[in-house]
A and B are shown apart, each in its own frame.
Chain A
Amino acid sequence: MPVKRDNLLEKYSAKLYKNRKEHIVQLDGEDAKIAANTRAVPGVMTARGCCYAGCKGVVVGPLKDVCVITHGPIGCSFYSWGTRRNKARVEEGEQNFTSYCFSTDMQESDIVFGGEKKLEKAIDEAVALFHPKCVMICSTCPIGLIGDDVQAVAKRAEKKHGIKAIGFSCEGYKGVSQSAGHHIANNGLMREIIGTGDRAPENIFSVNILGEYNIGGDGWEEERLLKRCGIEVVSIFTGDGSYESLQNAHLAKLNIVMCHRSINYIAEMIKEKYGIDWIKVNFIGVKATIRSLREIAKYFGDPALVERVEEVIADELSLIEDEMESIRLKLAGKTAGIFSGGSRSHHYQMLLADLGMETVIAGYEFAHRDDYEGREVIPFIKEDADNRNIEVLRIQKDEGMYRKFHSPEKMEVLKDEIELDRYGGMMRDMDAGDIVVDDYNHFETDELIKGVKPDIFFSGIKDKHSIQKAGVVSRQMHSYDYSGPYAGFNGAVIFGRDVAMALCTNAWTLVKPPWHDEPMLVGELTGGESHA
């Protein structure tokens, strides 16, 4: 590893050094610690977004049958309009709001005199135009400052229109990143929606997929696999998800968690209230997908299901083996860096390993320590002024609905066999020498690119073009550069093809003009040559 963590830090001023050194770790084979989920330093060009982006953009925006109204000036709704690839489709006659953008487009007078009236009117107009079953209100920065009570407006709208209405106080300044918005969204869904339905699954083996946003159709690929195995998907949080399906989430038998960061709150709260266990899965990567499917089968413990899962795995593998092998021949030995939100940097290391690639740099934008170090660190995470303000719901057991799928004795056995209700974090799956960066910024990314020169760097749009300008291939980990799905067996092949394509793009050979290599003064030698 040509770059050491210390090289990266030495360019910082003393004050910044003191802050950033806690967020950058070079692994040494021991259990590592890292600082995370703390304030970004003003001016460092963090990649982070805001609380609104986490609530509206990530968690509630994908719900296709919900009219999500952004309460604020126009910008926030505009930027989160169709920009996150949370694909959704509906059956004939069902409502799909995902291609729409709704805002109260607040003007100066609304800021001065308050925006509740305009919000109420906007809901009236939305109800008259679209007759949605559910309206959600997402607050932007000024809302909390001027004191608009979006929850009260929602309650009044429920009464007036006889629909579900939920207000989210997800003002951009809350918390330190998108992460606060995830939590606020989780709380709202838990308090208002989960448990309000009564449509029980038909299949005894039923799951909710938590933290799957169906970017590029990942959720659909996961659902296809699970269905093939004979497992029913009750709801998906929240890619291609719906208010209607979320209402019945408490009737599933198991929660499987993809994006731990954004949805672990719901997984835990459902467990406390309804007794449903959760397991952390990862459908990114062939081996990871196989492991996840087996863990689910093992949880249910039904021999026929276990057998069916093995059949599906064998069949899916047989369909991709040859192409995976040919891609692996092209990619083996290549190195990669990954900077992403709060889960993908871990997930994709598994897929890159399937392709024979090594991840030497990994980082998260808004992860917490448990995403790096494992959930057992949670009791030791210090509360600070920023995260203290994010409400932690007090959950009580729902005596009527609470049930455990397994006896306590069986759970004891299972706990040793599968990763039940726990998550080991990213860093344990990485090697000594690898660099881990929390809340990475432009400077650090640039320095790492120059110093480490990985063959490919996965990040977001804000970094992509500067990385490529530096001559390193970059693919977007948030949007998949409009490709995908990358989940499951088929997704692994699509990802592999994309990586191989990116590395083999012909135009990379054209970067340097030929005249850079040939000196201007290449004259013919005269005089010494014989002309005879």
Chain B
Amino acid sequence: MLDLTPKEIVNREALRVNPCKTCQPVGAMYAALGVRKCMPHSHGSQGCCSYHRTVISRHFKEPAIASSSSFTEGASVFGGRSNLTTAARNIFDIYDPDIIAVHTTCLSETIGDDMGSYISDLKIPEGKHVVHCNTPSYAGSHITGYFNMMKGFMNYLTEKTGIPNGKTAIFPGWANPGDIRHLKKLCEAMKVRTVMFPDQSGIMDAPMTGKYELYPPGGTTISEIRSLGDCRRVIALGEFTSLEPAEHLEKKWKVPFDILPAPIGVDFTDRFIMALRRISKIEVPYDIEERRGQLVDLMLDSSQYTFKKKVAVFGDPDTVLGLTSLCLELGMLPKYVITGTPKEDFAKRARDLFEKYGAQDCLAKANADLFELHQRIKNDRVDLLIGTSYGKQIAKAEDIPFIRAGFPVLDRYGGPLLPIVGYTGGIRLAEKITEALMDRQDRDCKDEDLEAVM
């Protein structure tokens, strides 16, 4: 496996090998799948739409609906206006969504399609909506596309009626439905009334009923998005995914926001709970505190198996920072902390975490790829890998235990249904991490060293 990867690292300027990111439009599509009765629409050639639906379906093991403008060579020369017009008419006709969320592609961006004008010229049925965002694939990553789509929805739909709705908007960042469900439970327990935006729960984790629903009953509703301008506050989770949408709402409707890290691990979850507590001004219910205590208890009980264990964490910036924080809480050494998303502040945030826990000889890098990670591991190996599915190649090549987290996880089942956020998610991760490390110890030890009790 990966036999051609040399140990010696040479600087590459042009060749990306085994990326740790993908392109903006898939992020826009996933964000749009978190809105009720919404048809995500890819304005480009149909391969983009097909690839994005495929990767989303493979991660969630769920249908991922989306339509395409199906550009041909002609459209690429003359512009995609008529493709979009035809598409919108057909989508409303056949699939009857409440809203079509259009995102662009590198094709329509390169030819300079003016989406705002195309959309304003559409005949949109009464009570229906078409919104758009620009997602040039040659800038940023899928994370950029995710928040661009959020901004697209807000751009078209939000308003301020002047009557505060008393709700707090939660921007969950790029999360699995299991995470979003858990965040909602925490907010409910903290008596904070929320608008979750976007909200893929109920859609990308729909139950088996024997009846297929094109639009499962989940997602942020249009009126909820509209009401974001009337919210008292935004709690934006994950600086790299949610800061821009939060700033957008602040700029547009003066809604103040808290920017917090993705609530993974004890400290980052504490910050989320404290933010909720400041809003509802209620004491933290016992069962939340109990859960927290259980997580810390678990960390202490198992600490000798995680202490100073070297780990490489890779994936999307906010998820990776959360996982890194948790690993540090477990006493581990996050040797390599890597994202493909080109956001240089990421490395700074990671280094702050290293410093906080006095972790030395750890490398944090944005705009990196898995080929480089593999090379670094060849030079100085780690005890554990945490990240997305493609890490399995490195895990196999170097015989390193591997835990899947983040997007995409294409090769396992059930993950998106369960949280990694909150204290509950922390317990799940801590269990996975200790189990992976201890299974390895059991596998590798001599017979006489195999412990019945650990």
> A residues near B, CB below 8 A?
11-13, 16, 39-53, 69, 72-83, 95-97, 99-108, 110-111, 118-122, 124-126, 128-130, 140-142, 144-146, 172-178, 385-386, 389, 442-443, 446, 449, 460-471, 511-512
Contact = CB atoms under 8 A, between A and B. Distances in A.
A308 B13 CA distance: 57
Given A16-B90, A81-B18, A172-B107, 19 more contacts: A40-B46, A42-B68, A48-B47, A50-B45, A76-B51, A80-B51, A121-B15, A122-B14, A125-B12, A126-B15, A142-B110, A172-B44, A173-B44, A175-B73, A177-B46, A446-B212, A469-B208, A511-B208, A512-B210
Given A42-B83, A469-B211, A74 B137 contact: yes
A145 B45 CA distance: 13
Contacts of A385: 72-74
Interface of B: 1-4, 6, 10, 12-19, 21-26, 41, 44-48, 50-55, 57-58, 61-76, 83-84, 86-91, 93-95, 105-107, 110-111, 136-139, 141, 206, 208-214, 340, 371, 390, 393, 410
B10 A128 contact: yes
B90 A111 contact: no
A12 B210 CA distance: 26
B358 to A, nearest CB: 35
A4 B132 CA distance: 38
Given A43-B86, A44-B94, A102-B16, A461 B107 contact: no
A144 B71 CA distance: 14
B4 A130 contact: yes
Nearest to B76: A173
Nearest to B41: A43
A173 B45 contact: yes
Contacts of A78: 19, 21-23
Nearest to B213: A469
A42 B390 CA distance: 33
A36 to B, nearest CB: 16
Nearest to A460: B54
Contacts of B62: 465
Contact of B90 (A41, A96, A108, A469): A41
Contacts of B95: 45, 442-443
Given A39-B70, A465-B63, A72 B45 contact: no
Contacts of A107: 138-139
Contacts of A41: 70, 86, 90
A439 to B, nearest CB: 10
22 contacts: A13-B90, A43-B68, A45-B66, A46-B68, A49-B51, A69-B15, A74-B16, A74-B21, A75-B22, A79-B51, A79-B55, A99-B1, A99-B393, A100-B18, A101-B17, A102-B15, A144-B76, A145-B110, A173-B72, A385-B72, A385-B74, A463-B63
B49 to A, nearest CB: 8
Q: Which of A43, A125, A145 has the most CB of B within 10 A?
A: A43
B73 A73 contact: no
B72 A471 contact: no
A95 B22 CA distance: 26
A397 to B, nearest CB: 32
B83 A511 contact: no
Contacts of A53: 47, 50-51
Contacts of B105: 141
Contacts of A460: 54
A110 B110 CA distance: 11
Contacts of B136: 73, 108, 111
A103 B51 contact: no
A43 B87 contact: yes
Given A100-B17, A464-B57, A49 B107 contact: no
A44 B67 contact: yes
Nearest to B208: A511
A442 B65 CA distance: 9
Given A173-B73, A462-B57, A102 B45 contact: no
Given A45-B66, A51-B47, A145 B107 contact: yes
Contact of B61 (A75, A125, A465): A465
Contact of B211 (A42, A74, A471): A471
Contacts of A141: 44-45, 76, 105-107, 110
A79 B21 CA distance: 11
A139 B76 CA distance: 15
A508 to B, nearest CB: 9
A95 B210 contact: no
A111 B87 CA distance: 27
Contacts of A47: 50
A29 to B, nearest CB: 31
